[in-house]
């Protein structure tokens, strides 16, 4: 057992340096974000303005909210590839329902409220289906959600008849403040993002459910033997992600007022990237909501800087993000 | 020709911690040498250095008169030195033959020579007495069979010095006997054997010479015949050991707390009936594969069962998973500490409270109350740890086991099933665990102990149930409790 002995005797120089280094690792994403912001400020004076900061946060909100849910799924040892398609299908269904209801119900607010309920409900139901197939059906999460990735998007394309599903103008006007409006000078999507992130962090760290999610990701057998209701926790985790997708979608719909086969394309990869950049291990067990939020912001700051400066072509945006993901993964290797 | 090995002033540090302080001794060629010491004495580290898995910080190893420096285990293997790990080094999804030749594949031109490897595997499997097809995947083998595959692998590498680290920890008496016969055969062929074990009766039986280490230092070297078990234990601990087992309390009176009738776990246990009273310690003996672990996993709802009635306090219960079992006051300590018992990457606190986390969530978790519970457990279970905020993996084997025990006792069960509670644990910690088990019984819990160490069952239990081939063949009481009696029932010679 000697290597463990090294861990157990803390008060020595080498161990203290190691502990400090370990803690610094945890701040990696934050440090990266700070460095990026400094670079952005030096490159373009407009970067460090409140307007730009809020703009970046608003754009991050969709992916960020989904990433918080994804963080739970990945920590539990799972994955969900379908979130982009799910968002698109939910957006389509939501718009179809609201257009239909608007013909019979006079109040646009009520119609929109019902649309939002549908969005959350569909998200939860899709999550429930994923969770049941994965836990009770014992199919790998990768396979289940690879399947639904195709199913969700195909149904949206079918409903939209290959084109776009568009929200009625009157409704779109009534709905637009949800995306474009702000409270105390901060846009609504940013508020929602903040609430989801805080709630996520609280649930993960301060509830029994959150502890179970981590335990299952660390070693599912141990959790099962320790009387943890593993299947129930897994189903709840996918439902939580579904709800996050629902929330992101109800914020997204007023932005463009339509859903098309390209809606939410590659969101799943952006959300997974945010989680991983935030220091969560892809194999599960350990991770943090804070890291995920920082990861999501970091990725959108990159594209923001590329937009504001002309050093690197915006066409290379995805490439720069790709390099960052690989560099972060390189820096975090062997931490566990 | 036997290999002669000498350690000269070997030291080794892990970071700031020095675990070997200048160890020097020679291994007698062609003998079976018992290497004794408590957990953390440095035995495993020294043997890993010998087999090329670790490098010494200073000092040298002299093999056949030549100072040697093994850069990796392949280099050591080339010199004929093979270490069989305490934890297996087998690729579960490969076949037995693929594992045995992993890294040393036989080739015919550019291609693998599967036929030759299969043939050679059959030969070594025959030597170790494992009747299995070389094409069987290792995953499908039980633990004892994996152990034999490890030994077969060493044979296939033409080992001249074989180090076995706790080889019988997972073996039943019958399998252990077969291993000893194999060791005698290897010795006759001139192989030097280093035998590390906590089971002193076995050391007494199979070794020619005993080397004792304590706190990273060489302590003593004696011919085995000149030492009693008691003397060996004292050398290891460095002080006089009082009695290993607590005195037995009288068998409690009263109605059974847990009653099981006609319980069947398909493929593992058929029509098993037993009962246990509050305050009673019931042992379960049997060979590996007799179905003891599987019976209780079935009872806990961790495996499907097909028939049977389970009553707690005379009330019939249906346990579909371990959560329902815990709700009925039954908890189970798995024999597989790392795979099913502890979250080794998690802190001690998170491990301790995992089974009854609800008690610390109202609905918000209170880390302060969890920490309080941990400090209580550290005191009452005697978990030795420098820092209560470290990971479970930082604890020694014995202390991990105490933590795992504390964990299954957290929900304050009325019936607790302990599967191999002292596996891989040193003498001092074993004694602690025995006294703890007695304390549980005195507090009115029904304790079921599954163990492959007969001495332990005899020393601890009021009654011992013996299983063979999935059937409960006998329940042995009081004055009938003896190793001969239990082995006879377990092997079916009575």
B310 or B86: whose pLDDT is higher?
B310
| Separation of alpha carbons B143 and B288, rounded Å | 8
Tokens linked to B83: 């270490």
Nearest to A72 by CA among A195, A202, A192, A193: A202
Helices A83-104 and A230-256 meet at what angle, rounded to 10? Answer: 60
B459's CB contacts (< 8 A; 6+ apart) are: B244, B245, B434
In this structure, what is the dihedral angle of CA atoms B485, B486, B492, B494, given to the nearest 10 degrees? Answer: 20
Nearest to A246 by CA among A76, A107, A117, A113: A117
| Separation of alpha carbons B29 and B160, rounded Å | 10
**Residue among B352, B354, B390 with most chain A CBs within 10 A, to mutate:** B354
pLDDT value of residue A6 = 37
B389 at interface of A, judged by CB pairs closer than 8 A? no
Tokens linked to A188: 């609504």
CB contact under 8 A, A222 and B340: yes
B220 at interface of A, judged by CB pairs closer than 8 A? no
Residue of B321, B363, B394 with shortest CB distance to A8? B394
Q: Which residue in A has a C-alpha nearest to residue B359's C-alpha?
A: A208
| Cα angle for residues B303, B307, B312 (degrees, 5° grid) | 80
Q: Which residue in A has a C-alpha nearest to residue B325's C-alpha?
A: A227
| Cα angle for residues B401, B407, B413 (degrees, 5° grid) | 120
β-pair type (B209-214, B217-223): antiparallel
One fold for B5-237 and B256-491: yes
β-pair type (B256-265, B307-312): antiparallel
In 10 A of CB B242, how many CB atoms? 6
| Separation of alpha carbons B8 and A211, rounded Å | 49
In 10 A of CB A110, how many CB atoms? 12
Q: Which CATH architecture has domain B5-237?
A: 3-Layer(aba) Sandwich (3.40)
Bridge partners (DSSP) listed for residue B315: B312
* Residue owning tokens 């800087």: A305
| Separation of alpha carbons B451 and B490, rounded Å | 12
A46 at interface of B, judged by CB pairs closer than 8 A? no
Summarised one tens digit per residue, pLDDT across range B353-373 is 999 898 888 888 888 899 999
Summarised one tens digit per residue, pLDDT across range A265-274 is 989 999 999 9
Within a 13 Å sphere around the CA of B337, how many CA atoms are in the beta-carbon half?
24
Lowest mean pLDDT among A5-9, B95-99, B170-174: A5-9
pLDDT value of residue B392 = 87
Nearest to B421 by CA among B442, B401, B441, B435: B401
CB contact under 8 A, B364 and A215: no
| Separation of alpha carbons B434 and B437, rounded Å | 5
Q: What is the ipTM of this complex?
A: 0.78
B412 at interface of A, judged by CB pairs closer than 8 A? no
Over its C-alpha atoms, chain B yields an Rg (Å, rounded) of 24
**B residues 223-282 near A, CB within 8 Å?**
none
B363 at interface of A, judged by CB pairs closer than 8 A? yes
Percentage, residues of chain B above pLDDT 70: 97
Over its C-alpha atoms, chain A yields an Rg (Å, rounded) of 21
Residue of A9, A226, A285 with shortest CB distance to B16? A9
Tokens linked to B155: 């044979």
What average pLDDT does range B109-133 have in this prediction?
A: 87
What average pLDDT does range B389-417 have in this prediction?
A: 89
| Separation of alpha carbons B250 and B209, rounded Å | 41
**What is the spatial order of strands in the sheet that B281-286 belongs to?**
B330-333, B415-419, B446-450, B281-286, B463-468, B471-477
* Residue owning tokens 């596996």: B423
To the nearest whole number, what is the mean pLDDT of chain B? Answer: 86
Tokens linked to A308: 């504001």
Q: B440 near B159, Cβ under 8 Å?
A: no
Dihedral sign from CA coordinates of A88, A89, A90, A94: positive
pLDDT value of residue A7 = 38
Dihedral sign from CA coordinates of B461, B464, B467, B471: negative
Phi, psi of A166 (to 5 degrees): -115, 140
CB contact under 8 A, A208 and B357: yes
How far away is chain A from the Cα of B390, in angstroms, using its nearest Cα? 7
CB contact under 8 A, B323 and A208: no
A255 at interface of B, judged by CB pairs closer than 8 A? no
DSSP codes joined into one string, B378-413? HHHHT---S-TTSBGGGS-HHHHHHHHHHHHHTT--
Give, rounded to a whole angstrom, the gap between the first and last alpha carbons of chain B: 44
A198 at interface of B, judged by CB pairs closer than 8 A? no
Dihedral sign from CA coordinates of B416, B417, B420, B423: negative
Per-residue pLDDT at B42 exceeds 70: yes
- Write out chain A residues lying below 8 Å of B425, CB-based: none
Residue of A4, A223, A336 with shortest CB distance to B345? A336
- Write out chain B residues lying below 8 Å of A286, CB-based: 345
CB contact under 8 A, B393 and A206: no
| Separation of alpha carbons B237 and B225, rounded Å | 20
Chains A, B: CB pairs < 8 Å: 121
Cis check: omega of the bond before B33, within 30 degrees of 0: no
Residue of A13, A211, A229 with shortest CB distance to B365? A211
| Separation of alpha carbons B477 and B464, rounded Å | 7
What average pLDDT does range B244-264 have in this prediction?
A: 87
Per-residue pLDDT at B50 exceeds 70: yes
Going by pLDDT thresholds of 50, 70 and 90, the confidence category of residue B281 is very high
- Write out chain B residues lying below 8 Å of A229, CB-based: 321, 323
Residue of B323, B385, B394 with shortest CB distance to A227? B323
| Separation of alpha carbons B400 and A222, rounded Å | 14
Residue of A12, A222, A225 with shortest CB distance to B332? A225
Nearest to B3 by CA among B36, B26, B21: B26
B391 at interface of A, judged by CB pairs closer than 8 A? yes
| Separation of alpha carbons B253 and B239, rounded Å | 39
- Write out chain A residues lying below 8 Å of B365, CB-based: 205-208, 210-211
Enumerate residue ranges in chain A where pLDDT < 70. 1-27, 333-336
Q: Locate the DSSP E strands across B97-234.
A: 107-108, 111-112, 161-165, 192-196, 209-214, 217-223
| Separation of alpha carbons B135 and A55, rounded Å | 62
Q: Which domains are seen in chain A, by residue range?
A: 30-331 (1.10.3470)
pLDDT value of residue A39 = 85
In 10 A of CB B449, how many CB atoms? 26
Domain range B256-491, its CATH number among 1.10.150.120, 3.40.50.300, 2.60.120.260, 3.40.50.9100: 3.40.50.300
CB contact under 8 A, B387 and A8: yes
Q: B169 near B398, Cβ under 8 Å?
A: no
| Separation of alpha carbons A151 and A146, rounded Å | 9
């Amino acid at each position: 057992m000697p290597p463990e002995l090294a861990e157990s005797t803390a008060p020595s120089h080498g161990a203290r340096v190691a502990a400090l280094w370990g803690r610094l690792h945890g701040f990696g994403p934050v440090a990266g974000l700070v460095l990026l912001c400094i670079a952005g400020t030096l490159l373009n004076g407009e970067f460090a303005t409140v307007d730009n900061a809020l703009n970046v946060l608003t754009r991050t909100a969709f992916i960020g909210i989904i990433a918080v849910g994804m963080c739970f799924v990945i920590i539990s040892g799972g994955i969900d590839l379908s979130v982009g398609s799910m968002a698109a299908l939910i957006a389509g269904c939501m718009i179809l329902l609201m257009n239909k209801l608007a013909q019979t119900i006079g109040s646009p607010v009520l119609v929109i409220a019902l649309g939002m309920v549908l969005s959350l409900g569909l998200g939860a139901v899709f999550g429930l289906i994923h969770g049941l197939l994965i836990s009770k059906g014992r199919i790998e999460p990768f396979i289940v959600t690879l399947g639904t990735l195709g199913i969700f998007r195909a149904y949206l394309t079918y409903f939209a008849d290959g084109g776009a599903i568009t929200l009625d103008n009157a409704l779109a006007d009534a709905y637009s403040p949800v995306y474009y409006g702000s409270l105390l000078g901060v846009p609504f999507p940013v508020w929602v993002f903040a609430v989801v992130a805080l709630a996520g962090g609280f649930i993960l760290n301060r509830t029994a459910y959150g502890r179970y999610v981590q335990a299952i990701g660390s070693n599912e057998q141990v959790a099962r033997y320790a009387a943890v209701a593993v299947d129930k926790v897994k189903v709840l985790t996918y439902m939580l992600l579904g709800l996050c997708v629902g929330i992101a979608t109800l914020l997204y719909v007023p932005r463009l007022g339509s859903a098309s086969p390209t809606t939410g394309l590659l969101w799943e990869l952006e959300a997974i990237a945010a989680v991983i950049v935030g220091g969560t291990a892809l194999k599960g067990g350990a991770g943090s909501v804070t890291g995920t939020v920082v990861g999501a912001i970091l990725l959108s700051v990159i594209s923001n800087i590329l937009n504001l400066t002309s050093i690197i072509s915006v066409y290379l945006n995805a490439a720069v993000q790709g390099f960052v993901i690989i560099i972060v993964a390189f820096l975090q290797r062997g931490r566990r | 020709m036997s290999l002669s090995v000498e350690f000269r002033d070997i030291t080794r540090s892990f970071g700031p911690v020095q675990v070997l302080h200048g160890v020097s001794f020679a291994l007698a060629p062609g003998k079976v040498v018992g290497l004794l010491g408590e957990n953390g004495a440095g035995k495993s580290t020294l043997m890993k250095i010998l087999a090329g898995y670790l490098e010494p910080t200073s000092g040298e190893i002299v093999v056949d008169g030549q100072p040697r420096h093994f850069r990796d285990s392949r280099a050591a293997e080339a010199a004929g030195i093979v270490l069989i790990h305490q934890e297996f080094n087998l690729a579960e999804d490969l076949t037995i033959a693929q594992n045995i030749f992993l890294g040393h594949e036989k080739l015919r031109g550019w291609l693998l020579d599967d036929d030759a490897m299969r043939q050679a595997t059959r030969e070594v499997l025959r030597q170790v007495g494992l009747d299995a097809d070389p094409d069987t995947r290792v995953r499908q083998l039980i633990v004892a069979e994996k152990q034999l595959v490890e030994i077969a692998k060493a044979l296939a590498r033409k080992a001249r010095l074989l180090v076995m680290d706790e080889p019988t920890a997972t073996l039943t008496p019958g399998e252990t006997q077969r291993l000893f016969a194999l060791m005698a055969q290897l010795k006759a062929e001139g192989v030097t054997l280093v035998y590390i074990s906590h089971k002193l009766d076995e050391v007494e039986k199979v070794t020619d010479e005993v080397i004792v280490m304590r706190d990273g230092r060489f302590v003593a070297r004696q011919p085995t015949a000149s030492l009693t078990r008691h003397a060996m234990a004292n050398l290891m601990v460095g002080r006089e050991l009082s009695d290993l087992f607590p005195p037995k309390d009288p068998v409690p009176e009263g109605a059974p707390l847990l009653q099981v009738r006609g319980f069947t776990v398909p493929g593992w246990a058929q029509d098993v009936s037993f009962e246990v009273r509050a305050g009673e310690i019931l042992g379960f003996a049997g060979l590996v594969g007799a179905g003891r672990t599987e019976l209780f996993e079935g009872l806990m709802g961790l495996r499907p069962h097909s028939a049977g009635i389970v009553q707690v306090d005379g009330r019939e219960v249906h346990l579909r998973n371990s959560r329902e079992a815990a709700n009925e006051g039954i908890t189970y300590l798995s024999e597989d500490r790392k795979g099913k018992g502890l979250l080794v990457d998690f802190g001690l606190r998170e491990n301790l409270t995992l089974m009854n986390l609800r008690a610390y969530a109202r609905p918000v978790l209170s880390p302060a109350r969890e920490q309080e519970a941990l400090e209580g457990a550290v005191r009452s279970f005697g978990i030795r740890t420098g820092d209560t905020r470290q990971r479970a993996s930082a604890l020694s084997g014995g202390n991990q086991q105490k933590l795992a025990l504390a964990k299954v006792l957290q929900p304050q069960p009325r019936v607790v099933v302990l599967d191999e509670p002292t596996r891989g644990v040193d003498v001092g910690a074993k004694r602690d665990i025995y006294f703890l088990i007695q304390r549980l019984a005195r507090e009115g819990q029904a304790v079921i102990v599954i163990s492959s160490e007969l001495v332990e069952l005899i020393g601890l239990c009021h009654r011992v149930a013996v299983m063979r081939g999935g059937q409960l063949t006998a329940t042995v009481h009081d004055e009938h409790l003896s190793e001969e009696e239990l082995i006879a029932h377990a092997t079916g010679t009575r």
